[in-house]
A and B are shown apart, each in its own frame.
Chain A
């Protein structure tokens, strides 16, 4: 720490920080328009100029580091005049159309002009009046209002790693524009909109919706991925009009991805349910809560009596609150008396936990630290596009790389991470295990880790035996990555002072399985690292919370594990084994639309006597239900989400529930009342009290051991009839199938696209936007094609978000913990 004076006051500052930061830390505001702490100092707006006593020149506070004994003046007549002139110049050609500008009221330029400006400008000239660029979806660019602070350009290139905007021209005619003035094609994260200090970049869905001063702003947690970002929502007259990130707020510190920023409007979907539905004469018809509850209660009781409680099961939801999920397991265990409970996390997060336990013994539930990449020496990303599945975690990966971490990314396709990483190991899809084993083999053979310690671990001989088959040449043949690259990666990884290994695992991806997690854990153990080296984020907003709440066949709340006979049926048994159940309660989720091999699921559901579904909008599963309960959306109820860090975050009720919809926990409470069972839950507080009593998660750490895994044999996957490997991956704009109800997100991506390599496209006669028929052993679907050089030859890629795309009709569930790649045939539809 050093001492300096600012405006005569002695203040302390860390050495090397800028004057702007030191002043800010001491509550002294220095005006600025181009500063953003996420970005390198730019020094462009010239408003943060300060005086140093004894120096005639003015200095930009945003880029000048403090020095001991410095005497800084931030507000002198000279500075006020200089700032006034700069603002006056900025306003010479500004359209001054504040009365029709959405930014008015929260515009930095307006605020500063008000604070410093003269009532009249000396240089009245023509106003800029180019038409705004409204061609792209979601983002509107009005260059007339632009003051060229470059924040959008820099946030996009430096921070988001995208670079979709740039400066064009020079001097006064300079404009910010997409390359060559074409339509903006980007991630549509909208970070530029938040960064823009004026109304030059605007969110189209919010345009002309409200004046800033009429907005009521409230924070909540995003309902999409497991990052758990804080959304600052703007409401007017009970309607959410926009979402933005507020600097430093929440785990995301003000960053948002496009899903979070624009996707909230799924709650205003036209198919939102307003009343319960009951199947009468084969049709779902509107009914009253009384009638529906009564029907459901009677039907449940009937099955309980007839076939016993264990013929009933329930599926929880990764986007329902912890309370809802807690209530579901309580309802099933206490009211119904069945342990047949599970949720989508069993295909993702739960597998991660189990795989890690193989190597690290009993351990606390696996959580990540979103900031774990920062400051690390080396980061290994295995077969995952984290910037898509968990965009904000992805930002930290990129920031770490920018700050000097060596990032090794293995992936078959070119992604944002492969573009910004230090080493890209381009391995064939589904071969991550072989790659990791190959790296371990090099470490083992060359003694790159503390071998005596590793050799002392349980399972070391097994590891040696397994790895014997993973010589660099063999791995190279399997993965397509050169032996040298594997060796170099092994050296980089083992030579690192600190490192993390990260990947994503979930039901929406088919190119990896739990074996990859185990392989990563083996690698960590071999390197002498603990479980914190592995950073695998839970998939969705409350995946961790639902898991914690005990919506699992083998554990109750707070990971209280159940013994043999108490265990219930898991998700796979309930959904894929026809006849395993008589009745099923699906809370919120839409397995028919999102889980692999949907034909099998449909078959199972058709065989049920009772299917109760709660959902916010009519969905594929609800269409098959006997009773459908309308659920309140995430913004319409109070609750808690636990993000991938395991951090419980409170969501307030922001708007009135749609129609007669109810929070799920209330539905289940009412249902138990309808079944004449008193469960002593009246309010959400009762529920929370009980959750608190569920105790803390078991914290014991086990002893690390090796649990070697082999590479699944992919050699017979493709054949003459099915020559291409289908990889299912998330797209940036969507998360599960819920986001496909967002009108805004659908403007960017509204259907499943089949990406195909140019060579394969040539062979099949397919070009961009052609309709293609994709056939696997499971069935056929029709998709639109896009030729993409980002992927490998022999591989086609699509996503499973879109219910109408039915991509999950092609895929198969993983039975043995390996990848679930599917071979397909692609034909042009003429």
Chain B
């Protein structure tokens, strides 16, 4: 230990593992061995660093140098230059695109500069598998304080005062929830953690569980004392193997250290914690369904009341909080409610983690104070649109229960109430950015497809309603939209929202409602003109080459899988509509913008093109 001078924090979050961080580690290990530096350099696998767009990521401590997109072949150079000769490798640092200037330190990279890390306080800084490192960064101090110095009422009061609201999506005040459960009298109470993150494009909870599992445990220990629970479960989806592995280790370590189990820290307080693996049903993120799932039953929601705070898991008082909520608890206890409230808005205190994905340049995990405008997240942190020349079109917030917001709402601050007012929801924090290559009707259809698939089937508005909406949207995207469909959809949405049993059904219409609200003209052009102006809905699109703009370079013709493009070199080309399958390849390849998206000829009544035969074949 004494000789150790440098720590290499290799990101082993799922994103970086996917881009090869484990291979980089192997390369580093053998390189360090070869050079006999094993006593001086220590390799540590961390949880998600957040800047997933640039993985694999290595940050070097103590000088906080940030390397990105490191490949195994970069390793010899890195070790030689940086760790032997002491010259950090600029080539592997983040470079500001405009200035071409390498930024060595993480804190100065724009992606990180605008973030405030509370939930993600330990990300990339500690070895998630090491409880000691967590403890070294003030870990379990809050738990010790709560267990030994605070009465349950004090804990609840602090949490209430902090103003923290549940990070699972609905934003219910956490302190109030705990209060209800603490006042329920029962022989047994349960505290559950919801790690069943299921929204497409969301990975906040996974990252927290992978990067800092002990922060979740500590939050739960404090919560358990507050409500009087002696048994808890973390419900994690089985598709998160790394999170499961790390949580298992964390629970084992905490048990061994006496931080879980009987008589924690000699406080006389018991809390037994287990993992429960979810089988991947989206609806099991709904609290009552999650509880049925833990009971070993089919995960279907139950009507409330009785509320889980009175009758939850096995009909005992139960509190369920989200991973991110629990990760917030220890700092609140340690630093106080005032400290927590110092960030965020009046009604939405603290910070919020978002999973920024989609058409944005810097995809990754970001934590910002509540109230930060969406624009800041997308442009300052996310770096704007990823593809050159593409314009921002919409941002999808809250996953399949949320909605799409247009450019005009980009200055909306991210807090529960402001986002709800737009018709989208904060949700658990998924933020999918879309550029003008996205068709909103098709996107809405995608989300409806998800909810229709994931509906548990218990209540008809959700089970059949989502299916009917999906069918209508499919019709619209395939040219069978009818006059009045928009009104019917809106009407149906209203009834589904009003009558569905659980949050899944009640929010399933949100994507439809917001899409129609903000992008109605796209629906109308699909229905009336049979024209998908983005060229996504292949049935409502034909591609044509503008002879004025075409240079005859032949890129499109070579790329076309159907050999549907003909033309002489240097002469304007032409698409043979009978052969075209609307795959968009030519459109994406053309550097001169000469490919135009036109309404389908067939739909426009130009039957003589007779492309239906070719189409039929392509479809099947």
Contact = CB atoms under 8 A, between A and B. Distances in A.
Given A123-B468, A150-B458, A171 B463 contact: yes
Given A89-B468, A125-B471, A171-B452, A44 B499 contact: no
Contacts of B471: 123, 125
A173 B453 CA distance: 9
A667 interface: no
A41 B488 CA distance: 32
A85 B499 contact: yes
A493 to B, nearest CB: 21
A82 B491 CA distance: 10
B455 A46 contact: no
A44 B458 contact: yes
A162 to B, nearest CB: 16
A44 B464 contact: no
Interface stretch (B254-262, B297-305, B321-329, B345-353): B297-305
Contacts of A58: 498-499
B463 A172 contact: yes
A170 B455 contact: yes
A122 B465 CA distance: 12
Contacts of B343: none
Contacts of B456: 170-171, 174
B501 interface: yes
Interface string A75-88: 00010011001100
Interface string A29-67: 000000000000111111001000000011010111100
B463 A46 contact: no
A174 B463 contact: yes
Contacts of B435: none
B501 A86 contact: no
Contacts of B454: 170-171
B499 A170 contact: no
Given A167-B298, A170-B455, A89 B498 contact: no
Interface in B501-541: 501
Contacts of A125: 468, 471
A169 B464 contact: no
Nearest to B288: A43
A93 interface: yes
A803 to B, nearest CB: 44
Interface-central residue, A93, A167, A170, by most chain B CB under 10 Å = A170
A89 B460 CA distance: 7
Contacts of A86: 460-461, 495, 499
Contacts of A93: 464
A210 interface: no
A113 to B, nearest CB: 13
Contacts of B500: 46
Interface string B412-454: 0000000000000000000000000000000000000000111
Interface string B4-44: 00000000000000000000000000000000000000000
B468 A43 contact: no
A89 B461 contact: yes
Interface in B454-502: 454-461, 463-468, 471-472, 488, 491-492, 495-496, 498-501
A691 interface: no
Interface-central residue, B298, B303, B471, by most chain A CB under 10 Å = B303
Contact of B303 (A43, A81, A85, A171): A43
Interface in B59-104: none
A46 B460 contact: yes
A90 interface: yes
B290 interface: no
A92 interface: yes
Nearest to A63: B303
A82 B464 contact: no
B319 interface: no
Contact of A44 (B283, B472, B495, B501): B501
B457 A169 contact: yes
A172 B305 contact: no
Given A46-B499, A172-B452, A167 B457 contact: yes
B43 to A, nearest CB: 43
B221 interface: no
A169 B283 CA distance: 13
Contacts of A170: 281, 283, 453-457
Contact of B457 (A65, A90, A122, A174): A174
Nearest to B457: A174
A221 to B, nearest CB: 38
A44 B305 contact: no
Contacts of A65: 305
A42 B495 CA distance: 20
Interface-central residue, A63, A89, A147, A150, by most chain B CB under 10 Å = A89
Nearest to B502: A43
Interface in A726-759: none
A277 to B, nearest CB: 58
Interface in A1-49: 41-46, 49
A173 B454 CA distance: 11
Nearest to B455: A171
B460 A90 contact: yes
Contacts of B283: 170
9 contacts: A46-B501, A49-B499, A60-B303, A78-B498, A85-B465, A86-B461, A123-B468, A172-B455, A174-B456
Given A63-B303, A169-B457, 19 more contacts: A44-B459, A44-B501, A46-B500, A58-B499, A60-B303, A63-B304, A63-B305, A64-B303, A85-B461, A85-B495, A86-B460, A86-B461, A123-B471, A125-B471, A148-B460, A170-B455, A172-B455, A174-B456, A174-B457
